[in-house]
Amino acid sequence: MELIVIAHPKMLKDEALLVNQLFDAGLPIFHLRKPEADEAAHRKFMDGILPQYHNRIALHHFHALANDYNIKRLHHTERFRKSSTVCDFSQPYTFSTSIHQLAEIDQISHYHYSFFGPVFNSLSKPGYMGITDARFSVNKSKTTKLIALGGIDLNNIDQVKAMNFDGFALLGSIWNEPAQAIINFKKIQAKCQQI
């Protein structure tokens, strides 16, 4: 199962250092999503990331930065995807997006993977309730990989696997306690390797 960490939506103290440590610990993919940060803040964040890890970062905003930082992953927000009439998928990037209903899976066949959720009640957004139940299962015949998002922590990774997701993304379980980010990541990573 793929393991992805999504950035805290706000800029955090020493966040780039923590992200480098996550990469050092084996994080395969990091999604840089800072919806309120400007381009200069994104550049400052990227300047704090070791160059050997740039190709593991997916940009949600300011896609033009990909050329400056050897970034090979671009994320299209749901709003962008629904309002855009033309997307060039022939570029040498790995493209991702997000959906909130399985019925939308046919609309994203050009994407390599998509986040789906919230699967469980969100850990980072109080009141953001999960949309699945115990019987939920992903159809494996789809072409786009589905990555579970929302409320995922050490206690429910087994459920995510049982639901047939291709992977999962972490946000609240990493960033709700930044001082414990690396410890929590390593515990989740170890459990993921066991299942």
Indicate the pTM of the whole model.
0.93
Q: Which domains does the chain have, with CATH numbers?
A: 2-194 (3.20.20.70)
* pLDDT for res 86: 65
How many beta carbons lie within 10 A of that of residue 54, not counting itself?
Answer: 17
**Range 164-172 average pLDDT:** 95
Read off the pLDDT of residues 97-142 as tens digits, 9 standing for 90 and up: 999 888 888 889 889 999 999 998 777 777 777 888 778 888 766 7
Instruction: Say whether pLDDT at 91 is over 70.
Output: yes
Quote the pLDDT of residue 81: 85
Reported as a pLDDT band with limits 50, 70 and 90, residue 85 is: low
pLDDT, tens digit (0-9, with 9 covering 90-100), for 1-54: 899 999 999 999 999 999 999 999 999 999 999 999 999 999 999 999 999 999
29, amino acid identity: I
Work out the average pLDDT over 55-61.
97
